[in-house]
Amino acid sequence: MAHKAIEHLKTRTLKKNKVNVVTLGCSKNIYDSEVLMGQLQANRFEVEHESKSGDSGIVIINTCGFIENAKQESIDTILRFAKAKEQGHIDKLYVTGCLSERYKPDLEKDIPEVDAFFGTKDLPRLLKALKADYKHELVGERMLSTPVHYAYFKISEGCDRPCSFCAIPLMRGKHESVPMDELVLRARKLAQNGTKELLLIAQDSTYYGLDIYKDRKLAELLRRLSDVEGIEWIRLHYAFPSGFPMDVLQVMNERSNICKYLDMPLQHITDSMLKSMKRGTTKQKTIDLVNKIREQVPGIALRTTLIAGYPGETERDHKEMLEWVEQTKFERLGCFTYSHEENTGAFKLVDDVPAELKQERAEAVMEVQQGISHDLNAKKIGREFKVLFDRKEGPYFVGRTEADSPEVDNEVLVKAADNYVRIGDFANVRITGAEEFDLLGEVIQNV
């Protein structure tokens, strides 16, 4: 989430007790920022997320360090605010999150304008630097940066998987599940405050429970969360294909408020790439798993992400992936170029696919997916869907179906004049038009 440009900071009097929290990176970082902001609020700080007012005396940047582009964005953002501090536009600058966890000694040396750097598990220390108390009784409470009707919901931290391309274990540590009773309590608090959709996130959601219950407990967790009054949608992200707990599919069928949606990053399809990536699966096992999921949950929307240009990826590997994407017809798909990250398993390999070729291959995958998405969307014309409205944009209310997660998936655009709806409302919408990654519709009835 890129920060907006720093504007008109000089013209305002700085509020020494006002904090601007800037979040970069993924939904896990958004969640962490929200927990931080909840703690700050409880300590009587005035807090804004991505503030545009320019009167915050304190800025905290929550960084991403996952791949090269994200690291560069984090560094550029730190440097912008470091310059603002030098010019007297802010009093204090703190940096936390994944980049800080991974490169703290280098950052301290290179950017001395930052008052202090903190890692991913240093929230109590960060609060102490602000002369604030870490309030244990607030665990699970947050200041949402999303619209109140949906919330990212972290069920575990860290990852035990050995994927060769991934730096997450270096920054987030080993897998740690949040106890189930605590998660249910958090869900109830969110529902009481108006949250209708829980977006379950983790580094690996399918590993949930193995550390504290000695068994995979994701299905049981979904059942218990689905019993929470007021929660109308529960959406599952970041499932790992190897050892996928099939009882999760049974719960999807049983419970109407668990979305028929699954985000499962598969990364590649050829046996040679999967083996080098240490994914613990094969092409045939992956194909069988996708078929079984679709067979057991008819109508499920499957989202995946793929990597183009991993070390050793041949033209044949690339074509095989393209053919598989064309055949599988994922409802949602993203493709990213490989980033050669130090201290990962793949770093000892030669990063032998040129950057331009990586980009070409990623674009080729997305071109195939664009056609698939358009065809799938066109088949929805004339059908009715339950839609949750997230925002208003010009003459349109913009919402999502059960098949769509915020930020990354398709959206439904409804003209405000068609029928009165409000942000955070559900409504039944008839689809009237389709584009590659968006739908047009008209409200039939508020839900």
Give tens-digit pLDDT for 95-151. 999 999 999 999 999 999 999 999 999 999 999 999 999 988 876 679 999 999 999
Cα separation of 433 and 441, whole Å?
A: 7
Cα separation of 334 and 303, whole Å?
A: 8
pLDDT score of 66: 83
Q: What is the mean pLDDT of the chain?
A: 93
- What integer is the mean pLDDT of 314-343? 97
pLDDT score of 54: 85
pLDDT score of 369: 97
User: What percent of the chain has pLDDT above 70?
Assistant: 96
Residue 6 has pLDDT above 60, yes or no: no
User: Over the stretch 359-385, which tens digit does the pLDDT of each residue have?
Assistant: 999 999 999 999 999 999 999 999 999
User: Over the stretch 281-292, which tens digit does the pLDDT of each residue have?
Assistant: 999 999 999 999
Confidence of residue 446 (pLDDT cuts 50, 70, 90): low
- What integer is the mean pLDDT of 266-276? 98
Which one-letter DSSP state was computed for residue 88? Answer: T
pLDDT score of 4: 43
Sheet holding 56-63, edge to edge: 46-49, 15-23, 56-63, 92-97, 116-117
Residue 385's contacts (CB-CB under 8 Å, 6 or more residues apart) are 401, 402, 412, 428, 429, 431, 441
- The CA distances from residue 87 to 81, 82, 370, 445, in Å, are 10, 9, 46, 54
